[in-house]
Amino acid sequence: MIGGQGSGGAVYSRRGMVLLANTTVVSNTATGGVSGAYGLNQSYKGGDSRGAGICAEDSSLIAIDSAFSGNVAVGGSQAPFFVFTGWFGSARGGAICFTNGSTTITRCAFTTNSALTYPTRTASSDAAGGAIYSHGPLTVSESSLVGNVVSS
Residues 6+ apart with CB under 8 A from 40: none
Taking the alpha carbons at both ends of the chain, their separation in whole angstroms is: 22
d(CA 22, CA 100) in angstroms, rounded, equals 25
Contact 18, 55 (CB under 8 A): no
Predicted TM-score (pTM) of the model is: 0.84
Domain boundaries, the chain: 6-151
Written as tens digits, the pLDDT of the chain (152 aa) is 456 667 888 999 999 999 999 999 999 998 776 666 565 555 566 778 889 999 999 999 999 999 999 999 988 766 665 555 556 778 889 999 999 989 999 999 999 999 988 655 455 578 889 999 999 999 999 999 999 999 87
